Amino acid sequence: MMQKVIKILLVIIGSIVVIIALITATLVLTGNVEIGFDSNGNFQVEIKNNNDNLDSYDQIIQSTLTTYPTDIFVYGEDCKFRKNVKFKQIDKLSEENLKSDKKYKVIVFNDLYDKTDLTDDDIAVLKKYVLEGDYALFYTGRKHMDAFIANGFATEQVIKENIGFALRHSGGTVIETGGLWDETSLEYYETENPELLGESIFIFIERIIRED
């Protein structure tokens, strides 16, 4: 009887060993685990970070979901973000819609095709949250450039030949950035890479985080 129990236990243990070996082999083949010896001749198993398999765009996205929690508010047209991007599409610029408890907050006003209105009330809200607050702003479009210049959001020198501009905070100062989007970018976005706008926004977000 005892021998039979021992045989059963050995079969179970053997099966477990085989399963572990198969799982390990799969992880090695997929690049998630590396097995070998270190410089001192010691055997080691290294589990690789999944971020190693992400491109730069996905790495920035991942950081806004984990290490650097970021609220992204999109007003206007679709930005064609990747599916793993977490953002809030809003239909109105208001205090209610822009509530956030995150450290990093970005308002994306996407008006590439000049379809979205900008009222005096909208300007007042943006002044409160961007110029007087700590929200960043990423604007694409031409239609409202004059209004933004007139209200102190942008300067003609920076936005010349650009389709939009961006504002971020660094050291207690609001910094204007141009050159993020122009006619060449728009053409490439429309003909070659529909992810370009979303990627440009996340490059801007990465800059905000890096300078904090």
Q: Which residue in 32, 25, 26, 29 sits closest to 51, CA to CA?
A: 32
- Amino acid in the structure at residue 101: D
Q: What are the domain boundaries of the chain?
A: 2-48, 52-211
| Cα–Cα distance, 197 to 140 (Å, whole number) | 9
The predicted structure's pLDDT at residue 65:
84
Residue 132 has pLDDT above 70, yes or no: yes
DSSP H or E stretch at residue 203: helix 196-211
What's the pLDDT at 182? 86
Count of beta carbons in the 10 Å neighbourhood of residue 88: 14
More confident residue, 164 or 99: 99
Residue 35 has pLDDT above 80, yes or no: no
SS3 186: helix
pLDDT in tens, 160-210: 778 989 999 988 899 998 877 888 889 999 999 999 999 999 999 999 998
Cα 137 to Cα 140: distance, rounded to the nearest angstrom: 10
Strands 104-111 and 136-141: parallel
pLDDT of 26 > 50? The answer is no
Token duo for residue 4: 């039979």
Q: What is the mean pLDDT of residues 126-150?
A: 95
C-beta separation of 164 from 141 below 8 A: yes
**pLDDT on residue 8:** 60
Task: Single out the residue of 59, 53, 100, 83 nearest to residue 205, CA to CA.
Answer: 59
From residue 125, give the alpha-carbon distance in Å to each of 7, 93, 176: 75, 7, 18
* Arithmetic mean of pLDDT, 87-96: 96
Comparison of pLDDT for 55 and 151, the residue scoring more: 151
Distance (Å) of CA 122 to CA 72, 117, 171: 17, 9, 26
Residue 22, pLDDT above cutoff 50: no
**Closest by alpha carbon to 204, among 156, 155, 148, 137?**
137
CA dist 52 → 24, 60, 80, 137 (Å) = 18, 13, 24, 30
What is the predicted pLDDT for the residue at 30? 44
pTM, to two decimals: 0.74
* Long-range Cβ pairs for the range 199-202 (8 Å, 24+): 199/57, 201/72, 201/79, 201/81, 201/106, 201/108, 201/138, 202/57, 202/60, 202/61, 202/64, 202/85
